[in-house]
Amino acid sequence: MTEQPAAPWTLPRDPLCVDRAAPIALATAGQATARADGRPTLLHVTGPPAIGKTTLAVHLAYLLLRDYPDGGLFLDAHGSAARMVVPPEDLARQVLVQFGTPAAEIPAAPEDLLAVARRLLARKRMVLVIDDVSLSGQVEELLGDVSNALVIVTSRSRHDELAAAGFTRIVLTGFDVAAVGELITAMGGAGAVPDEVIRMLCAKCTGLPLALKVGAGRIISGEEDPHELVATLGLADLEQDEEVSVERVFDAIYRDLPDDEQTDYRAWGAMPVADFGLAISAEVLGCTQREARRRLAKLVRRFLIEDCGAGRYRFHYLLREHAAKCAAEKSPEQAQEVAERATTWLARRAIALDRAYAPRPVPQGSEALYASIESAYDDADKASQEYTVEWLNLLTAAHSCTEFGWFDLAVAVPAALYSFAYQTRRTAALIDLYVRALDFARTAPVQWQLNRDLAGLHEQLGEGEAAVRFAAAALGTGYAPGTSSAHEWMGLGYEGLGRLTEARDSLTLALSTVDLMDDPVQEQRAAALLRMHLARVAWKLESFDDAELALSQAKEYFAQQDRDAPNLARCEELLGDLELKAGDEPAAEARWLTAGTIYERRAMPKNAADVLDKLGDLAGSQQRPGEARAYRDRAKELRGQAEG
């Protein structure tokens, strides 16, 4: 089993931070007072766009980290991007992921996510940075007992509710001339930039750190005379009402780029995603990945694009907005072409990843698309890793396919995301995409596929009524090969609602119609899964003989399929319960040991802990105190790993 980190640390590296002595003093004083009073240290860094809020927050985390040995987390609330504002439960999900919680153990229900996150954070001496908050509720619902923590929130707004909750507000302003000189020195321009140039740059950028960093990068590159560069930056005529907007600063910097770099700046700005890799860059630019890397490096050197390492790049959100505006103004047709090329690449990549990741059949209606696209990998774990990195981009592409009216892809891409979303409990993100895709479904098989998948998405979210409703809609399409699967999801929906007799009847119907699939391989696996589901329901109905027969049949199949080892463990565990019920304690112990071993091997600590508790109780009842204690200690250890 993968060991969970004792002190998770997911903050970005300590950034360059200048001219913040007063805010740092306010923060350290606030920390001293809070610790003396036995309170958490709560800081709220606020100010206008591009003022350096995140930079200060992360720097404070490093400055004060010695008092917080339990680690540090960085959560992105996406408050500056209207379509990306995340609810509190998604911040909770970030907490669980950063603590190393296995995807299979992350709860689906929002209230459960928040409860587990609060439990992980409770009384920890750790740093928690929540960046780019737009709604105070994003913070308030996440935090429980953080009495020993340092919590730093950044936002563009004052959020008086945070002040009322005990947060010390730190308001940032722009740099003065001395700070600009300090910035240039820190960036490597010590002694090389005349004071007059520093004063002009500060005035024209009105002290905005982001704009100053870009301008300073141009100056200290040594490629141009600094006096001429600042003089021709074109900002003097923009100094109206003693203000210069960030957008106008970037306008001037953009106009001063060479033509080829302007073209690339617009191209990356027209892409529908903020972070990206070399492959999609090469597709958009129409060049090799090596050439794309070279061209990206030019804009990285100018501080216009950030190199995140591992072949990933991203725009700061303000620069991305500006680049997109430039692209639309210069050539709306080319901007649209770039957006479409990027969306097409991401859509096809989703299908390539699905082919590598998912064991389920090709989605109905997408057979030709899947046949035209090779699997991304021969390893599901690698596909999972890329899914994780590209997830938001793939979702964006799925939405774009709908907006572009690309009916085939609007249906295929959500289906290509289904298996990963289901296994990693991201199903809520797909509901709207599936519902919209129903408008494009023209045939019974496609209508069945979408309704059947919607039943699965809702079942995982614990929404049994919706699962039953969509399963019924799938049945209503009349698509015969999908009859069994639709009955299966209807049965699982009923089980979630506690309507066990109806669950049993639906699952029995599903088993009796498996042969309609007309695919022997899928029929075998479907039958095994259905027997396992039926056994679980029979156990709940106290029909123990029926449960044992169904489990034995399911186990025989799963024992031959390595990818189904978790299902084999579930069968062994329930068979152990049945053995104990029948009074055969040695047989029960043997089955539970087998199940526990598999659960641990497949990084399912909560399942393993449950089995170990059963083993501990059994050993205790048999007067084997040493073994009972060992089992319970191991169960406690596993639960600790699962919870953080």
The tens digit of pLDDT for each residue in 447-491 reads 999 999 999 999 989 999 999 999 999 999 999 999 999 999 999
Q: Where residue 149 sits, what CATH number does that domain have? A: 3.40.50.300
Give a yes or no: residue 624 inside a domain: yes
Given this model, what pLDDT does residue 2 score? 41
Q: Give dist(CA 475, CA 469) in Å, integer.
A: 10
pLDDT in the model for residue 643 = 64
Do 244 and 276 belong together in one domain? Answer: no
**Could you tell me if 571 and 549 are in contact, meaning their C-beta atoms sit under 8 angstroms apart?**
no
Given this model, what pLDDT does residue 604 score?
A: 74
Same domain, 588 and 611: yes
Q: Which of 126, 142, 171 is the last residue of a domain?
A: 171
> Is the model's pLDDT at 235 over the cut of 60?
no
Is the confidence at residue 438, as pLDDT, over 50? yes
pLDDT attached to residue 27: 94
**pLDDT score for 191:** 65
pLDDT band at 197 (very low <50, low <70, confident <90, very high): confident
Same domain, 144 and 201: no
Query: Do residue 149 and residue 106 come from a single domain?
Result: yes
Query: Within this chain, do residues 145 and 185 fall inside the same structural domain, yes or no?
Result: no
Position 181 in a domain: yes
Choice among 149-158, 219-228, 391-400 with the minimum mean pLDDT: 219-228
**Confidence at residue 603, expressed as pLDDT on a 0 to 100 scale:** 67
Q: Is residue 8 part of a domain?
A: no
- Are 247 and 279 within one domain? no
303 and 365 together in one domain: no
Q: Is residue 13 part of a domain?
A: no
User: Does residue 131 lie within any of the structural domains?
Assistant: yes
Q: Is 60 exceeded by the pLDDT of residue 95?
A: yes
Q: Do residues 112 and 156 both lie within one domain? A: yes
354, 419 Cβ separation under 8 angstroms: yes
Residues 167, 105: one domain?
Answer: yes
**Which of 330, 358, 386 corresponds to the end of one domain?**
330
Listed residues 117, 140, 171: the one ending a domain: 171
Residue 153: CB partners within 8 Å, gap ≥ 6?
42, 43, 44, 45, 57, 129, 130, 133, 139, 159, 162, 167
Domain that holds residue 244: 177-255
If you average pLDDT over residues 42-66, what whole number do you get? Answer: 91
Q: What's residue 237's pLDDT? A: 32
Give the chain's domain count: 5
CA distance 509 to 487: 6
Burial of 6 (0-12, 13-18, 19+ CB in 10 A): exposed
Q: Domain for residue 2, yes or no?
A: no
Q: Which residues pair with 250 in a beta bridge?
A: none
pLDDT at residue 530 in the model: 96
Whether 187 and 219 share a structural domain: yes
80: helix, strand or coil: coil
Task: Indicate whether 610 pLDDT > 80.
Answer: yes
| CATH number of the domain encompassing residue 601 | 1.25.40.10
Q: What is the mean pLDDT of the chain?
A: 88
| CATH number of the domain within which 318 lies | 1.10.10.10
Amino acid at 640: G
pLDDT above 90 covers a percentage of the chain that reads 60
| pLDDT of 236 over the 50 cut | no
DSSP conformation class of 309: E
Amino acid type, 5: P
Q: How confident is the model at residue 395 (pLDDT cuts 50, 70, 90)?
A: very high
Residue 602 has pLDDT above 60, yes or no: yes
Among 155-164, 508-517, 615-624, whose mean pLDDT is lowest? 155-164
Instruction: Say yes or no: 35 and 84 in one domain.
Output: yes
Q: In which band, very low, low, confident or very high, does the pLDDT at 6 lie, cut at 50, 70 and 90? A: low
Question: Span 301-311, mean pLDDT?
Answer: 83
In degrees and rounded to multiples of 5, residue 122 shows phi and psi of: -55, 125
Please give the pLDDT value at position 642.
58
The closest alpha carbon to 142, from 130, 124, 159, belongs to 130
**What's the CA gap between 577 and 167, in Å, rounded?**
51
SS3 153: strand
Which pLDDT value is given to residue 234?
46
Orientation of helix 585-601 relative to helix 605-621, angle to 10°: 160
Q: What is the CA radius of gyration of the chain?
A: 29
Same domain, 326 and 298: yes
Q: Is residue 521 part of a domain?
A: no
Q: Is position 570 within any domain? A: yes
Nearest to 495 by CA among 466, 458, 533: 533
- Which of the four pLDDT bands, split at 50, 70 and 90, describes residue 246? low
pLDDT for 542: 92
Q: Which pLDDT band holds residue 80 (cuts at 50, 70, 90)?
A: low
Evaluate if residue 541 carries a pLDDT over 70.
yes
